Structure 1
Protein backbone atom coordinates (compact mmCIF):
# COMPACT_ATOMS: atom_id res chain seq x y z
CA UNK A 1 0.00 0.00 0.00
CA UNK A 2 1.18 3.52 -0.82
CA UNK A 3 2.59 5.12 2.39
CA UNK A 4 1.13 8.50 1.39
CA UNK A 5 -2.31 6.92 1.05
CA UNK A 6 -1.97 5.37 4.52
CA UNK A 7 -1.06 8.77 6.00
CA UNK A 8 -4.23 10.28 4.54
CA UNK A 9 -6.50 7.50 5.79
CA UNK A 10 -8.16 7.65 9.19
CA UNK A 11 -6.44 5.72 11.94
CA UNK A 12 -8.16 4.01 14.85
CA UNK A 13 -7.42 2.79 18.34
CA UNK A 14 -9.05 -0.59 18.95
CA UNK A 15 -10.01 -1.39 22.55
CA UNK A 16 -11.27 -4.80 23.63
CA UNK A 17 -13.47 -5.07 26.71
CA UNK A 18 -14.53 -1.47 26.08
CA UNK A 19 -18.00 -1.63 27.60
CA UNK A 20 -16.93 -1.30 31.24
CA UNK A 21 -14.07 -0.82 33.68
CA UNK A 22 -10.59 0.12 32.50
CA UNK A 23 -11.50 -0.27 28.82
CA UNK A 24 -14.41 2.14 29.09
CA UNK A 25 -12.30 4.71 30.94
CA UNK A 26 -9.53 4.44 28.35
CA UNK A 27 -12.08 5.00 25.60
CA UNK A 28 -13.23 8.21 27.30
CA UNK A 29 -9.68 9.53 27.76
CA UNK A 30 -8.58 8.69 24.23
CA UNK A 31 -11.76 10.14 22.73
CA UNK A 32 -11.15 13.41 24.59
CA UNK A 33 -7.71 13.50 22.97
CA UNK A 34 -9.27 13.22 19.52
CA UNK A 35 -8.61 9.56 18.71
CA UNK A 36 -10.97 7.60 16.48
CA UNK A 37 -12.00 4.38 18.23
CA UNK A 38 -13.06 0.84 17.49
CA UNK A 39 -14.81 -0.55 20.56
CA UNK A 40 -15.10 -4.32 20.99
CA UNK A 41 -17.21 -6.12 23.60
CA UNK A 42 -20.14 -8.53 23.89
CA UNK A 43 -22.74 -5.93 24.90
CA UNK A 44 -24.00 -3.96 21.90
CA UNK A 45 -26.30 -1.82 24.05
CA UNK A 46 -23.44 -0.60 26.22
CA UNK A 47 -21.22 0.07 23.22
CA UNK A 48 -23.98 1.99 21.43
CA UNK A 49 -24.50 4.12 24.54
CA UNK A 50 -20.78 4.87 24.76
CA UNK A 51 -20.64 5.70 21.06
CA UNK A 52 -23.53 8.15 21.44
CA UNK A 53 -21.65 9.90 24.25
CA UNK A 54 -18.22 10.06 22.65
CA UNK A 55 -18.81 10.89 18.98
CA UNK A 56 -20.69 14.20 19.24
CA UNK A 57 -18.74 15.41 22.25
CA UNK A 58 -15.29 14.96 20.71
CA UNK A 59 -15.82 15.09 16.93
CA UNK A 60 -14.39 11.62 16.37
CA UNK A 61 -15.52 8.38 14.76
CA UNK A 62 -16.46 5.45 16.95
CA UNK A 63 -16.95 2.05 15.35
CA UNK A 64 -18.56 -0.85 17.20
CA UNK A 65 -17.77 -4.55 16.87
CA UNK A 66 -19.84 -6.92 19.01
CA UNK A 67 -17.96 -10.17 19.60
CA UNK A 68 -17.27 -12.74 22.30
CA UNK A 69 -13.48 -12.92 22.28
CA UNK A 70 -13.45 -16.14 24.27
CA UNK A 71 -14.58 -17.76 21.00
CA UNK A 72 -11.69 -18.22 18.55
CA UNK A 73 -13.75 -17.68 15.39
CA UNK A 74 -15.23 -14.45 16.72
CA UNK A 75 -11.77 -13.16 17.62
CA UNK A 76 -10.58 -13.83 14.08
CA UNK A 77 -13.61 -12.01 12.71
CA UNK A 78 -12.62 -8.79 14.53
CA UNK A 79 -9.56 -8.48 12.31
CA UNK A 80 -11.51 -9.57 9.24
CA UNK A 81 -14.15 -6.91 9.85
CA UNK A 82 -11.56 -4.16 10.32
CA UNK A 83 -9.75 -5.27 7.18
CA UNK A 84 -12.96 -5.44 5.14
CA UNK A 85 -13.99 -1.94 6.21
CA UNK A 86 -10.52 -0.51 5.59
CA UNK A 87 -9.92 0.58 9.19
CA UNK A 88 -6.26 1.37 9.89
CA UNK A 89 -5.64 0.15 13.44
CA UNK A 90 -2.47 1.86 14.64
CA UNK A 91 -3.11 1.21 18.35
CA UNK A 92 -4.41 -2.08 19.76
CA UNK A 93 -5.39 -2.28 23.43
CA UNK A 94 -5.92 -5.87 24.57
CA UNK A 95 -7.93 -5.11 27.69
CA UNK A 96 -10.65 -7.78 27.74
CA UNK A 97 -10.29 -10.41 30.43
CA UNK A 98 -11.79 -11.84 33.59
CA UNK A 99 -10.68 -13.62 36.75
CA UNK A 100 -11.86 -16.47 38.92
CA UNK A 101 -11.32 -16.92 42.66
CA UNK A 102 -11.40 -20.22 44.52
CA UNK A 103 -9.65 -23.53 45.06
CA UNK A 104 -8.65 -25.00 41.71
CA UNK A 105 -10.11 -28.39 42.62
CA UNK A 106 -13.54 -26.78 43.06
CA UNK A 107 -13.76 -24.06 40.41
CA UNK A 108 -15.72 -24.77 37.18
CA UNK A 109 -13.53 -26.17 34.39
CA UNK A 110 -15.71 -24.46 31.74
CA UNK A 111 -15.04 -21.05 33.29
CA UNK A 112 -11.29 -21.68 33.34
CA UNK A 113 -11.21 -22.78 29.73
CA UNK A 114 -13.11 -19.63 28.76
CA UNK A 115 -10.71 -17.54 30.86
CA UNK A 116 -7.68 -18.99 29.08
CA UNK A 117 -9.37 -18.39 25.74
CA UNK A 118 -10.08 -14.75 26.55
CA UNK A 119 -7.03 -13.77 28.62
CA UNK A 120 -4.45 -15.59 26.48
CA UNK A 121 -5.79 -16.75 23.12
CA UNK A 122 -7.56 -13.51 22.22
CA UNK A 123 -4.45 -11.48 23.06
CA UNK A 124 -2.27 -13.81 20.99
CA UNK A 125 -4.62 -13.88 17.98
CA UNK A 126 -5.34 -10.15 17.77
CA UNK A 127 -1.68 -9.27 18.30
CA UNK A 128 -0.60 -11.78 15.65
CA UNK A 129 -3.01 -10.43 13.05
CA UNK A 130 -2.70 -6.69 13.60
CA UNK A 131 1.06 -6.71 14.15
CA UNK A 132 1.73 -7.83 10.59
CA UNK A 133 0.02 -4.72 9.23
CA UNK A 134 1.77 -2.50 11.78
CA UNK A 135 5.17 -3.88 10.77
CA UNK A 136 4.39 -3.27 7.11
CA UNK A 137 3.46 0.35 7.89
CA UNK A 138 6.44 0.65 10.31
CA UNK A 139 4.09 2.18 12.87
CA UNK A 140 1.92 0.91 15.70
CA UNK A 141 1.48 0.33 19.41
CA UNK A 142 0.01 -2.62 21.29
CA UNK A 143 -0.92 -2.27 24.95
CA UNK A 144 -1.60 -5.53 26.78
CA UNK A 145 -3.31 -5.62 30.18
CA UNK A 146 -1.19 -7.72 32.51
CA UNK A 147 -1.48 -7.61 36.30
CA UNK A 148 0.29 -7.39 39.62
CA UNK A 149 -0.23 -11.17 39.66
CA UNK A 150 2.03 -11.43 36.60
CA UNK A 151 4.86 -10.93 39.11
CA UNK A 152 3.18 -12.43 42.14
CA UNK A 153 1.03 -15.49 41.34
CA UNK A 154 -1.51 -16.04 44.11
CA UNK A 155 -3.12 -19.20 45.45
CA UNK A 156 -6.87 -19.32 44.76
CA UNK A 157 -6.19 -17.35 41.54
CA UNK A 158 -4.12 -20.14 40.00
CA UNK A 159 -5.39 -20.02 36.41
CA UNK A 160 -5.85 -16.25 36.33
CA UNK A 161 -2.31 -15.71 37.66
CA UNK A 162 -0.97 -18.04 34.97
CA UNK A 163 -2.80 -16.18 32.20
CA UNK A 164 -1.42 -12.82 33.31
CA UNK A 165 2.08 -14.23 33.67
CA UNK A 166 1.76 -15.27 30.03
CA UNK A 167 0.59 -11.80 28.98
CA UNK A 168 3.58 -10.07 30.58
CA UNK A 169 6.14 -12.59 29.32
CA UNK A 170 4.65 -12.52 25.83
CA UNK A 171 4.59 -8.72 25.75
CA UNK A 172 8.16 -8.24 26.95
CA UNK A 173 9.71 -10.78 24.60
CA UNK A 174 7.67 -9.48 21.66
CA UNK A 175 8.77 -5.92 22.44
CA UNK A 176 12.39 -7.06 22.18
CA UNK A 177 11.75 -8.78 18.83
CA UNK A 178 10.14 -5.63 17.41
CA UNK A 179 12.78 -3.14 18.50
CA UNK A 180 13.65 -0.90 15.58
CA UNK A 181 10.55 -1.76 13.54
CA UNK A 182 8.44 1.24 14.59
CA UNK A 183 6.06 -1.07 16.48
CA UNK A 184 5.96 -1.01 20.30
CA UNK A 185 4.44 -3.57 22.67
CA UNK A 186 3.63 -2.30 26.16
CA UNK A 187 2.32 -3.86 29.38
CA UNK A 188 0.02 -2.27 31.96
CA UNK A 189 0.13 -4.03 35.34
CA UNK A 190 -2.52 -2.86 37.80
CA UNK A 191 -3.30 -4.38 41.17
CA UNK A 192 -6.91 -4.59 42.38
CA UNK A 193 -9.21 -2.17 40.53
CA UNK A 194 -12.67 -1.00 41.54
CA UNK A 195 -14.61 -2.65 38.70
CA UNK A 196 -17.06 -5.51 38.28
CA UNK A 197 -14.01 -7.75 37.78
CA UNK A 198 -13.82 -8.13 41.57
CA UNK A 199 -16.30 -10.64 42.93
CA UNK A 200 -17.68 -10.47 46.49
CA UNK A 201 -15.41 -13.40 47.37
CA UNK A 202 -12.34 -11.48 46.17
CA UNK A 203 -13.38 -8.34 48.03
CA UNK A 204 -13.69 -10.35 51.26
CA UNK A 205 -10.03 -11.45 51.25
CA UNK A 206 -7.25 -10.02 53.38
CA UNK A 207 -5.37 -8.96 50.26
CA UNK A 208 -8.19 -6.63 49.20
CA UNK A 209 -8.50 -5.15 52.68
CA UNK A 210 -4.78 -4.35 52.75
CA UNK A 211 -4.39 -3.26 49.13
CA UNK A 212 -7.56 -1.30 48.32
CA UNK A 213 -8.90 -1.38 44.74
CA UNK A 214 -7.80 1.57 42.62
CA UNK A 215 -10.01 3.98 40.69
CA UNK A 216 -10.36 2.57 37.14
CA UNK A 217 -10.02 6.09 35.70
CA UNK A 218 -6.58 6.44 37.30
CA UNK A 219 -5.52 3.04 35.98
CA UNK A 220 -6.78 3.95 32.51
CA UNK A 221 -4.87 7.23 32.61
CA UNK A 222 -1.70 5.33 33.53
CA UNK A 223 -2.28 3.17 30.45
CA UNK A 224 -2.73 6.18 28.18
CA UNK A 225 0.42 7.75 29.63
CA UNK A 226 2.29 4.52 28.89
CA UNK A 227 1.06 4.65 25.29
CA UNK A 228 2.45 8.18 25.01
CA UNK A 229 5.78 7.01 26.42
CA UNK A 230 5.80 4.23 23.84
CA UNK A 231 7.90 1.61 25.63
CA UNK A 232 8.17 -0.65 28.65
CA UNK A 233 5.69 -1.65 31.32
CA UNK A 234 3.87 0.20 34.07
CA UNK A 235 3.00 -1.17 37.49
CA UNK A 236 0.19 1.11 38.66
CA UNK A 237 0.67 2.53 42.16
CA UNK A 238 3.62 2.56 44.55
CA UNK A 239 2.10 -0.14 46.78
CA UNK A 240 1.79 -2.50 43.83
CA UNK A 241 5.32 -1.71 42.67
CA UNK A 242 6.64 -2.48 46.17
CA UNK A 243 4.62 -5.70 46.43
CA UNK A 244 5.78 -6.85 42.98
CA UNK A 245 9.39 -6.64 44.13
CA UNK A 246 8.96 -8.62 47.36
CA UNK A 247 9.81 -11.97 45.71
CA UNK A 248 13.29 -10.63 44.96
CA UNK A 249 14.15 -10.42 48.64
CA UNK A 250 11.86 -13.10 50.15
CA UNK A 251 12.43 -16.88 49.88
CA UNK A 252 9.85 -18.63 47.72
CA UNK A 253 8.38 -20.83 50.47
CA UNK A 254 7.87 -17.83 52.76
CA UNK A 255 6.43 -15.71 49.94
CA UNK A 256 3.91 -18.40 49.01
CA UNK A 257 2.85 -18.82 52.64
CA UNK A 258 2.26 -15.06 52.90
CA UNK A 259 0.28 -14.98 49.65
CA UNK A 260 -1.90 -17.93 50.65
CA UNK A 261 -2.73 -16.22 53.93
CA UNK A 262 -3.58 -12.96 52.16
CA UNK A 263 -5.79 -14.73 49.64
CA UNK A 264 -7.99 -16.26 52.34
CA UNK A 265 -11.26 -14.63 53.45
CA UNK A 266 -10.79 -11.76 55.89
CA UNK A 267 -12.82 -13.13 58.78
CA UNK A 268 -13.65 -10.53 61.43
Structure 2
Protein backbone atom coordinates (compact mmCIF):
# COMPACT_ATOMS: atom_id res chain seq x y z
CA UNK A 1 0.00 0.00 0.00
CA UNK A 2 1.35 3.41 -1.03
CA UNK A 3 0.10 6.85 -0.02
CA UNK A 4 0.98 10.26 -1.48
CA UNK A 5 -0.74 13.38 -2.77
CA UNK A 6 0.51 13.09 -6.37
CA UNK A 7 -1.74 10.55 -8.08
CA UNK A 8 0.26 10.36 -11.33
CA UNK A 9 3.48 9.47 -9.52
CA UNK A 10 1.64 6.94 -7.37
CA UNK A 11 0.17 5.29 -10.44
CA UNK A 12 3.57 5.09 -12.17
CA UNK A 13 5.17 3.56 -9.08
CA UNK A 14 2.30 1.09 -8.68
CA UNK A 15 2.70 -0.07 -12.29
CA UNK A 16 6.47 -0.35 -11.99
CA UNK A 17 6.31 -2.39 -8.77
CA UNK A 18 3.61 -4.71 -10.04
CA UNK A 19 5.44 -5.40 -13.32
CA UNK A 20 8.85 -5.80 -11.66
CA UNK A 21 7.89 -7.93 -8.67
CA UNK A 22 4.56 -9.49 -9.62
CA UNK A 23 2.81 -8.06 -6.57
CA UNK A 24 -0.47 -6.24 -6.05
CA UNK A 25 -0.08 -2.61 -4.97
CA UNK A 26 -2.92 -0.50 -3.58
CA UNK A 27 -2.58 3.28 -3.78
CA UNK A 28 -4.34 6.08 -1.92
CA UNK A 29 -4.14 9.74 -2.88
CA UNK A 30 -4.03 11.83 0.29
CA UNK A 31 -2.59 15.21 1.29
CA UNK A 32 -1.30 14.43 4.77
CA UNK A 33 -0.49 18.08 5.52
CA UNK A 34 -4.03 17.94 6.93
CA UNK A 35 -4.32 15.46 9.81
CA UNK A 36 -7.99 14.82 9.04
CA UNK A 37 -6.84 13.13 5.83
CA UNK A 38 -4.73 10.72 7.90
CA UNK A 39 -7.84 9.69 9.80
CA UNK A 40 -9.85 9.22 6.60
CA UNK A 41 -7.00 7.13 5.18
CA UNK A 42 -7.16 4.79 8.15
CA UNK A 43 -10.94 4.46 7.82
CA UNK A 44 -10.64 3.64 4.10
CA UNK A 45 -7.97 1.02 4.77
CA UNK A 46 -10.29 -0.60 7.32
CA UNK A 47 -13.22 -0.39 4.93
CA UNK A 48 -11.19 -2.20 2.26
CA UNK A 49 -10.19 -4.86 4.83
CA UNK A 50 -6.44 -4.38 4.28
CA UNK A 51 -4.15 -5.78 6.97
CA UNK A 52 -1.22 -3.46 7.73
CA UNK A 53 1.57 -5.36 9.47
CA UNK A 54 4.31 -2.78 8.79
CA UNK A 55 3.85 0.97 8.47
CA UNK A 56 6.46 3.51 7.34
CA UNK A 57 5.61 7.16 8.03
CA UNK A 58 7.85 8.74 5.42
CA UNK A 59 5.84 11.82 4.40
CA UNK A 60 7.56 15.06 5.39
CA UNK A 61 8.64 18.49 4.23
CA UNK A 62 11.23 21.04 5.33
CA UNK A 63 11.50 24.81 5.36
CA UNK A 64 14.89 26.56 5.29
CA UNK A 65 15.50 30.22 6.13
CA UNK A 66 15.48 32.79 8.92
CA UNK A 67 12.49 32.13 11.16
CA UNK A 68 11.30 35.76 11.04
CA UNK A 69 11.25 35.63 7.23
CA UNK A 70 9.87 32.17 6.44
CA UNK A 71 6.22 31.45 5.61
CA UNK A 72 4.05 30.84 8.68
CA UNK A 73 1.54 28.90 6.58
CA UNK A 74 4.24 26.58 5.23
CA UNK A 75 5.54 25.97 8.74
CA UNK A 76 2.07 25.20 10.11
CA UNK A 77 1.51 22.72 7.26
CA UNK A 78 4.92 21.19 8.02
CA UNK A 79 3.97 20.69 11.68
CA UNK A 80 0.69 19.10 10.60
CA UNK A 81 2.44 16.74 8.17
CA UNK A 82 5.63 15.95 10.08
CA UNK A 83 3.96 15.60 13.49
CA UNK A 84 0.15 15.57 13.60
CA UNK A 85 -0.53 13.14 10.73
CA UNK A 86 2.33 10.94 11.91
CA UNK A 87 0.78 10.77 15.40
CA UNK A 88 -2.66 9.97 13.96
CA UNK A 89 -1.36 7.12 11.79
CA UNK A 90 0.90 5.74 14.51
CA UNK A 91 -1.92 5.73 17.07
CA UNK A 92 -4.63 4.22 14.88
CA UNK A 93 -2.49 1.53 13.26
CA UNK A 94 -0.62 0.65 16.49
CA UNK A 95 -3.95 0.06 18.25
CA UNK A 96 -4.88 -2.52 15.62
CA UNK A 97 -1.40 -4.07 15.74
CA UNK A 98 -1.57 -4.45 19.51
CA UNK A 99 -4.91 -6.24 19.18
CA UNK A 100 -3.24 -8.68 16.75
CA UNK A 101 -0.10 -8.98 18.90
CA UNK A 102 2.33 -8.11 16.10
CA UNK A 103 3.44 -5.24 13.93
CA UNK A 104 6.07 -2.62 13.30
CA UNK A 105 5.93 1.13 12.65
CA UNK A 106 8.90 3.14 11.43
CA UNK A 107 8.86 6.93 11.62
CA UNK A 108 11.37 8.90 9.59
CA UNK A 109 13.22 11.30 11.89
CA UNK A 110 16.50 13.03 10.98
CA UNK A 111 20.05 13.81 11.98
CA UNK A 112 18.54 17.15 13.09
CA UNK A 113 16.52 15.24 15.69
CA UNK A 114 19.78 15.22 17.69
CA UNK A 115 21.30 18.40 16.30
CA UNK A 116 18.78 21.23 15.78
CA UNK A 117 20.10 23.70 13.22
CA UNK A 118 19.49 27.44 12.94
CA UNK A 119 17.57 28.30 9.75
CA UNK A 120 15.74 24.97 10.16
CA UNK A 121 14.06 26.03 13.41
CA UNK A 122 10.61 24.51 12.94
CA UNK A 123 11.81 21.54 10.88
CA UNK A 124 14.40 20.63 13.53
CA UNK A 125 11.71 20.84 16.20
CA UNK A 126 9.38 18.53 14.27
CA UNK A 127 12.11 15.94 13.84
CA UNK A 128 13.12 16.13 17.50
CA UNK A 129 9.44 15.46 18.24
CA UNK A 130 9.37 12.45 15.89
CA UNK A 131 12.36 10.86 17.62
CA UNK A 132 11.12 11.51 21.17
CA UNK A 133 7.61 10.35 20.28
CA UNK A 134 8.84 7.16 18.61
CA UNK A 135 11.17 6.19 21.45
CA UNK A 136 8.61 6.76 24.20
CA UNK A 137 5.74 4.97 22.45
CA UNK A 138 8.08 2.08 21.68
CA UNK A 139 8.91 1.83 25.39
CA UNK A 140 5.20 1.71 26.23
CA UNK A 141 4.64 -1.12 23.77
CA UNK A 142 7.30 -3.48 25.11
CA UNK A 143 5.75 -6.94 25.47
CA UNK A 144 2.89 -6.31 23.02
CA UNK A 145 4.66 -7.67 19.93
CA UNK A 146 4.57 -4.17 18.37
CA UNK A 147 7.54 -1.87 17.85
CA UNK A 148 7.79 1.81 16.91
CA UNK A 149 11.15 2.70 15.37
CA UNK A 150 12.90 5.87 14.22
CA UNK A 151 15.19 6.12 11.20
CA UNK A 152 17.54 9.11 11.36
CA UNK A 153 19.20 9.90 8.01
CA UNK A 154 21.32 12.90 7.12
CA UNK A 155 21.05 14.70 3.77
CA UNK A 156 19.49 12.60 0.98
CA UNK A 157 19.73 13.26 -2.74
CA UNK A 158 16.02 13.85 -3.38
CA UNK A 159 13.66 16.66 -4.28
CA UNK A 160 13.48 17.52 -0.56
CA UNK A 161 16.73 19.46 -0.99
CA UNK A 162 16.01 22.98 -2.20
CA UNK A 163 18.61 25.12 -4.04
CA UNK A 164 19.01 27.19 -0.85
CA UNK A 165 19.74 24.07 1.23
CA UNK A 166 22.21 22.79 -1.33
CA UNK A 167 24.27 25.98 -0.98
CA UNK A 168 24.81 25.58 2.77
CA UNK A 169 28.12 24.57 4.31
CA UNK A 170 26.46 21.49 5.80
CA UNK A 171 25.72 20.11 2.33
CA UNK A 172 29.31 20.80 1.29
CA UNK A 173 30.89 18.84 4.15
CA UNK A 174 28.20 16.13 4.51
CA UNK A 175 27.21 15.18 0.98
CA UNK A 176 23.69 13.87 0.32
CA UNK A 177 23.51 10.11 -0.19
CA UNK A 178 21.45 8.17 -2.70
CA UNK A 179 17.88 7.38 -1.60
CA UNK A 180 18.47 3.71 -2.47
CA UNK A 181 20.94 3.47 0.43
CA UNK A 182 18.45 5.01 2.86
CA UNK A 183 15.73 2.65 1.64
CA UNK A 184 18.02 -0.33 2.26
CA UNK A 185 18.81 0.86 5.81
CA UNK A 186 15.09 1.47 6.41
CA UNK A 187 14.18 -2.09 5.47
CA UNK A 188 16.96 -3.45 7.68
CA UNK A 189 15.66 -1.43 10.64
CA UNK A 190 12.05 -2.39 9.98
CA UNK A 191 12.84 -6.09 10.33
CA UNK A 192 15.29 -6.07 13.24
CA UNK A 193 14.83 -5.43 16.95
CA UNK A 194 16.62 -2.08 17.14
CA UNK A 195 14.50 0.96 18.07
CA UNK A 196 16.42 3.49 15.95
CA UNK A 197 19.13 3.85 13.35
CA UNK A 198 21.39 6.79 12.51
CA UNK A 199 22.42 6.25 8.90
CA UNK A 200 26.16 6.52 8.22
CA UNK A 201 29.22 6.92 10.46
CA UNK A 202 29.53 10.62 9.57
CA UNK A 203 26.00 11.28 10.82
CA UNK A 204 26.52 9.15 13.93
CA UNK A 205 29.69 11.12 14.76
CA UNK A 206 28.01 14.49 14.17
CA UNK A 207 24.97 13.50 16.26
CA UNK A 208 27.24 12.79 19.23
CA UNK A 209 29.19 16.06 19.09
CA UNK A 210 26.83 17.85 21.52
CA UNK A 211 27.79 15.34 24.22
CA UNK A 212 31.38 16.59 24.29
CA UNK A 213 31.02 20.18 23.06
CA UNK A 214 29.73 23.11 25.15
CA UNK A 215 26.33 24.39 24.01
CA UNK A 216 27.46 27.88 23.00
CA UNK A 217 30.28 26.49 20.87
CA UNK A 218 28.02 23.83 19.36
CA UNK A 219 25.45 26.43 18.34
CA UNK A 220 28.12 28.52 16.61
CA UNK A 221 29.26 25.43 14.71
CA UNK A 222 25.69 24.57 13.71
CA UNK A 223 24.91 28.12 12.61
CA UNK A 224 28.03 28.12 10.42
CA UNK A 225 27.09 24.77 8.90
CA UNK A 226 23.52 25.89 8.24
CA UNK A 227 24.65 29.14 6.62
CA UNK A 228 25.04 29.39 2.88
CA UNK A 229 28.59 28.94 1.60
CA UNK A 230 30.28 31.98 0.10
Would the TM-score normalized by the shorter structure come out above 0.5? yes
Structure 1 gap ranges (5+) = 1-37
Structure 2 gap ranges (5+) = none
Match of 2:20 among 57, 71, 76: 57
How many angstroms does 1:180 deviate by?
0.8
Match of 2:182 among 219, 229, 243: 219
* 1:216-239 deviation line (CA, Å, top 9, x unaligned): 100110000011213311000000
Contact residue 39 and residue 64 of structure 1 kept, 8 A: yes
Which residue is 1:95 aligned to?
Answer: 58
Match of 2:82 among 84, 104, 119: 119
State how 1:1-268 maps to structure 2 within 5 Å. Answer: 38-267=1-230
Q: Is the partner of 2:26 in helix, strand or coil?
A: strand
Q: Is the partner of 1:229 in helix, strand or coil?
A: coil
What TM-score do the two structures reach when normalised by structure 2?
A: 0.99
Aligned CA RMSD, in angstroms, stands at 0.7
How many angstroms does 1:74 deviate by?
1.2
* 1:89-142 deviation line (CA, Å, top 9, x unaligned): 011100000101000000000000000000000110001111110000001000
Q: Is the partner of 1:92 in helix, strand or coil?
A: strand
Which residue is 1:8 aligned to?
Answer: none
How far, CA to CA, are the matches of 1:59 and 1:158 in structure 2? Answer: 43
Q: Is the partner of 1:89 in helix, strand or coil?
A: coil
Q: Is the partner of 1:266 in helix, strand or coil?
A: coil
What TM-score do the two structures reach when normalised by structure 1?
A: 0.85
**4+ runs deviating over 2 angstroms:** none
Contact residue 186 and residue 230 of structure 1 kept, 8 A: no
How far, CA to CA, are the matches of 2:77 and 2:142 in structure 1? Answer: 32
